[in-house]
Structure 1
Amino acid sequence: MAEAPNVTVYSTPTCPWCDRAKAYLAQQGVPFKDVDVSKDYNAAMEMVRLSGQQGVPVTVADGEVILGFDQARLAKIAAKYAGPKRPPLGIMAADAEEYLSRHPELAEKVPAGTKGVYVGKIRPQTVAERAGLQPGDILTSFAGKRIRSMAQLDQMVDTLKAGDQATARYLRDGADQSVILQF
């Protein structure tokens, strides 16, 4: 588990680069303290003392000072402080409707107009493999919502964290089945 973070972002509410730095850290799962230097004079002076700069954003992690939005250096902070990473779903797939239209021999085995995600391959040691999904399965719903495309499934999976569960419904050899996916 990552050690207790000591990450501070000195920012102002009108700074777009500040927003980018904070959004990047949040997206990477890095807890941080947001300090608005436009409202806190002492914090502004502390930022200048640490960085030698009056411009924002300034990100400080264990004494390391990052000026501006330096994604490469912020990524190093993220690698150190991010919480547990969600394991990958682990499928190589395509939109079912489009895939089946190009492979009529497979389309004969499923109900006409089937929408979802056609599973082509399963990567080893992933959520999909542990759940027993197989190549040829067609995912039709995820977390209680119908899925019509790989892009939609990707968006839904991206909302999950390590430890979350989601139920997936799928067609295998024309039969409707379900499985709980443990992330």
Structure 2
Amino acid sequence: MPTVEMYLKSTCPYCIRAQALLARKGVDVVEYNLDRGGPKRDEMIERSGRMTVPQIFIDGRHVGGCDDLHDLERSGELDGLLAA
């Protein structure tokens, strides 16, 4: 199974929704909590070009945020990315 990384904040409803989808898929996620900001926030911005959470990566490929993840699920592409 590929490595899935997510930059998130613990109280963010979009982060919680993305976590729930990945949990339903049985995916272990490497989570970077940005509740206190710090260097991981800067890393997220550099990697994704975005400042909002969540930002999700599958095997180093930026797939976007919560809405993007759910779009991949609806189109059937998410399972393929997770099976790679």
After TM superposition, list the pairs within 5 Å mapping 1:110-149 onto structure 2: none
Segments of 5+ residues of structure 1 without an aligned counterpart are 83-183
Secondary structure class of the residue paired with 2:51: coil
Change (3 A) 1:18 1:9: same
Q: What is residue 63 of structure 1 aligned with on the other side?
A: 60
Mean Cα displacement is larger for which, 36-45 or 49-58?
36-45
Q: What is residue 49 of structure 1 aligned with on the other side?
A: 46
> For the Cα contact (< 8 Å) 2:8–2:32, is it kept in 1?
yes
Q: Distance in 1 between matches of 2:71 and 2:51?
A: 22
Report whether the alignment pairs 1:15 with 2:16: no
Q: What is residue 137 of structure 1 aligned with on the other side?
A: none
Secondary structure class of the residue paired with 2:32: strand
- Map Cα deviations across residues 8-44 of structure 1 (whole Å, 9 max, x no partner): 0110012100000010001011111111112351211
Secondary structure class of the residue paired with 2:11: coil
Q: CA RMSD in A?
A: 2.0
Q: Distance in 2 between matches of 1:18 and 1:43?
A: 16
Q: What is residue 94 of structure 1 aligned with on the other side?
A: none
Larger Cα Rg: Structure 1 or Structure 2? Answer: 1
Aligned residues: 79
The structure 1 segments of at least 4 consecutive aligned residues displaced by more than 2 Å after TM superposition are 72-82
Relative contact order: is structure 1 or structure 2 higher (C-alpha 8 Å, sep ≥ 6)?
Answer: 2
Which amino acid is 1:76 matched to? E
Q: What is residue 76 of structure 1 aligned with on the other side?
A: 77
Q: Distance in 2 between matches of 1:30 and 1:78?
A: 11
The normalised TM-score by structure 2 is: 0.78
Secondary structure class of the residue paired with 1:43: helix
Secondary structure class of the residue paired with 2:19: helix
Segments of 5+ residues of structure 2 without an aligned counterpart are none
After TM superposition, list the pairs within 5 Å mapping 1:97-112 onto structure 2: none
